[in-house]
Amino acid sequence: MNKNRYTLIIVIVLAVILASSWFLYGKLGENVERQELVTEEKNEPETEESTKSNTPKAPDFTVIDNDGNEIKLSDFEGKPVIVNFWASWCGPCKAEMPEFEEAYKKYGEDIHFLMVNSTDGSQETVESAKEFIESMGYTFPVYYDTKSNAAIVYGVTGLPTTYFINADGNVIAKAVSSITLDTLEKGIGLITE
């Protein structure tokens, strides 16, 4: 009997710690300092040829759209692409969403915005992500990484993470953590040059 009580107490304590951590990350994460872009460093004089050879090709991945159709990153080649990995429980992700909405309204005709939801099926579901997007009134396109294909291919270890890809399909810059509209605009400038 005492062993069961001890086990129950440990389980309750662990649950409280996990719930507190999740709550604090969501609430306090909204105030995290936002990061600047990280771009590829070039060690030789920049020419059109060297720029193409020094910039990594964006790895392809598969996600699903709102209708459950499979979509690949390569389907969007020919126009610049911004890929943002996010989740509705992520405070820093929520903090940058208004900036992405503003940029989408301004550049949506010229740039593909792939807002890739980290849909793990437990902490984040397609339904919870859709509910969040609808409740906030966001209009940018959302895709769901239900098999973690995109996150694995890009080695995403933290949310949010944003990649800036030019029309040739090369990764030009990335940002790990929440970004400001100014930083988003800088990234857009790099992929639309």
Q: Which residues are catalytic?
A: 90, 93
Q: Cβ contacts of residue 57 below 8 Å, gap of 6+?
A: 169, 170, 171
> Could you tell me which of 106, 91, 71 has the C-alpha nearest to residue 184?
106
Question: CA neighbours within 13 Å on the CB side: how many for 7?
Answer: 4
Q: Which two tokens stand for residue 9?
A: 């107490």
Q: Cα–chain-centroid distance for residue 137?
A: 18
- CA atoms within 13 A of residue 186's CA, in its CB half-sphere: 14
Start-to-end CA span in the chain (Å): 70
